[in-house]
A = this chain, B = another copy of it.
Amino acid sequence: MSRSLPHPTRDQIELPMVLDCLGDPTRLGIVCTIAKADQAATQLRCGDFNAFSGKSNLAYHFAKLREAGLIQTRVVGTTRYMRLRRNDLDARFPGLIDTILKSAALDADRLQFPECELPGVE
């Protein structure tokens, strides 16, 4: 069974909320990891992020990311699948998400995001 959670429409995505959301290192790391998985056409589940934080903390971070319009969450049974809303973000703020992802990649050494075991992702 698949059910849907509330997501902001493209037009409802707000710049301060996006920046505020990514100002948290854990959420920034989650988004970088989802972006990497999207490029490899791999869809990640909530359980793939256990290295980032505890389960209830993760649920909070995923909700914040969804409410800011950064990720699309699909619920299938007890599993949640996440993908980056890249088209919507690019349409609202051209180049923004890519520039932030590149900045995070430049600082990978000091940000030290946990390594996830992502099937099909190097």
What is A's interface to B at a CB cutoff of 8 Å?
Answer: 14-25, 28, 92-96, 99-100, 102-104, 106-107, 110-111
Contacts and interface: CB of A to CB of B under 8 A. Distances in A.
A89 to B, nearest CB: 10
Contacts of A16: 22-25, 28, 111
B28 A23 contact: no
B15 A19 contact: no
B96 A15 contact: no
A-side interface mostly: helix
- Count this chain's copies in the assembly: 2
Contact of A15 (B14, B20, B104): B104
B20 A23 contact: yes
A18 B107 CA distance: 13
17 contacts: A15-B28, A15-B103, A16-B22, A19-B19, A19-B20, A19-B28, A19-B100, A20-B20, A20-B23, A92-B103, A93-B99, A93-B107, A94-B102, A94-B103, A95-B95, A95-B99, A96-B99
A24 B15 contact: no
